[in-house]
Chains A and B, each alone.
Chain A
Amino acid sequence: MYPIVLLSVLGIVVLFLGFMKSKSVLLPATLLFLVLALASNFIDWNQGKVLYFYEMLAVNNLTLAFNAIVLVSAFMIVAMTRGFQDQEEAQPAEYYGIMLFSLVGAFMIIGYEHLIMLFVGIEILSVSMYILTGSDKSNLRSNEAALKYFLMGAFATGIMLFGIALLYGATGSFNLTDIQSYVSIQGRGVSYILYAGLLLLLIGMLFKVSAAPFHFWTPDVYDGAPTIFTTFMSTIVKTAGFAAIFRLLSHSFTPIYSFWWITLAAITVLTLLVGNIIAVYQNSFKRMLAYSSISHAGYLLIAVTSLSPQTENAILFYSLAYSIATISAFGVLMLVSKKKALEGQVDESYAAFNGLAAQNPLLAFVLAVSMLSLAGIPLTAGFWGKFFVFGSAVERGLVWMLVVAVLMSAVGIYYYFRAIIAAYLKEGDIGKIRIAPFYRIILVVATAMTILFGLAPGIFEKLL
């Protein structure tokens, strides 16, 4: 609750700070605001379930933890922007303002208790992302990506809204708890409209987290958007989106699990296959990360589909591990691609990493750790993420799905290791890359967290 109010106001403050002559105040101000939001987030900690504003918003430890993950990711990403000082056309005040506002949307869909809040939150999040995707105005690919994302996203929103309307028609309420009591009273005898509404609503939400077959926008958009905003999209939107899906299904629709799990299972398997197999054929590292984000949506979907008591923790841990690893991977990519830029055209292929380890051991190490974590190699956070997810699937007895997932993880190792091989074993003429001190700290912290959670995943559960 508090971060929503705080960031709504502070976002406006950031926009006003843009009027000042010196743009250098924006970055520290935004970081400070994020820290403030993080602190205010924990006011409600351990209060049990608290409802705000006529049952519009529910807050409990789970939603607070998701909020915290989102805020920490946002902090890291904002810290890596370095104030956009080296870009002439950048409008940092607007970028930071929109980023803060989009976090408001993320909090709304993490803690919604009312479907209106879900809708408004998803809209805030999506509209911000459409804008940030197209923020590189001189780049044709960025423009195309923004338009594509906008058209597809608007369509998905329409489908989602139709689903919400049907749910209202069936249950007579937008409130998750009311819907839950309707469903549990009726059991399998619920109105058929409810089934249709639930499916349409799920389609709309799965589109936002880019699950197959609703993933077609993902590669182009992730590829076309400025890398910093790609990072933002692939971590924050995904985390918040999965929190929302999990909340909807676990809170309201557990009684009709036998209905929706088949659909979701099919989508999960398809997502895993599409994400991992197409990622193999990519030559661009950034595009590979786009497909990798699809495949990670698949792993997260396994947890949602199995919906066991463990799922909560599994999703939480997985999104944390995935976010940190993605941020550090994109962080390295941003530095390297800028260094290798030719006539303003950045190089985002695997070949850009050739010979990285020779002069830049730190960057190579960060890249290697993040790739290992994304691939799910032991001693990294990613391994435990996958472990928890698979554990919840085992609990539900979805072994066949597990087989697919493990096979696909093996495929994943191939394309993640290509980057490591390029960095350590290939010859290249990449020079020494200068890293800003703050940027270095963020990369080191992210890597340290990945390893720390990989060595002792128990720390995380202690924190909760």
Chain B
Amino acid sequence: MELTEFVIKSLVILVIFGLTLLIAMYSTYGERKVAGFIQDRLGPNRAGPFGILQPLADAGKMFFKEDFIPAQANKWLFIAGPCLAMLTALMTSAVIPFGDSIRYDGLEVAVQAVEANIGILYVFGIVSLGVYGVMVGGWASNNKFSLLGAIRAASQNISYEISMGLSIVAILMMTGSLSIREIIEQQHGGNWNIWYQPLGFIIFITCAFAECNRTPFDLPECETELVGGYHTEYSSMKLGFYLFAEYINMFISSAVISALYFGGYNYPGMDWVYAQLTSAFGDVAGHNVATLIGTAAFFAKALFFVFFYMWVRWTLPRFRYDQLMNLGWKNLIPLAILNIVITGTGVLFLKPIITALLN
């Protein structure tokens, strides 16, 4: 690999990594602000102007708290739990294309860490590993409540993974590719998947809520039943890692949703913008600016869904556990299978008719 390409790639990866962390950090702030807005109060407003230094203050508080490990706990696994949660949360963004490509010195480098042939499966695989952080941490705490919380979280996650995977299958049948970049590029020109897959989208976003343990599916934490859930025994930055991983997951799942269903870095009128920019700034600079605008569109979409998560959290009450399981197994999975059948029929019979009519 050429050095310049390597440098650009590394820069892209670092920027994406930093942005992910930053967004996750400010999601905590955003959450409190949104909560304040919805509940008709102010939210954090002391640390800095509008309270924007609040996340830093929170982090500082987390760091200086006592780092406590219970006496009978399995020390190594107790530490490994939050590390695993954080690791899996951060690994996911590797295959998500945040933008088209950057041209520099005759090179064209994609705004994406790795372009993988199996991108969406990679995301799916890493998400399914997220359970381990929770389970290992919950078990290692040597506390019944932690263990029960961990088991709850894990069973919730694996239950909803099934319908999540099935809802993705419908997308794959339409695009014929597992690569996320390919999926995004096929949605070029307002051809977003949401128009074709409304049912799939609803299933996917419901499962994404459950996977991130967000309201209305935040069953793993429940004061009256489980004290604090799987992180009852955690304190200081280990607890911080668990909470932080949740926000990262939220952002990543929002990014995946916007990539799969809302065209990723495509936005209406992008061809016109591209033509204007290249004619104004030349091929290289214009292309790069257009890419940046696309990336901005991507982040805007993703951030909207992060907001959506918060919106839902402060509006909807939570489910009961048996309702959660019934919804997952008895409603979402049959619906997802139905969606696959409908999509298959559409691709096989409807698509040729429509293309014949259009031509």
Do A and B come into direct contact in the complex, CB within 8 Å? no
Chain A positions within 8 Å of B, measured between CB atoms, are none
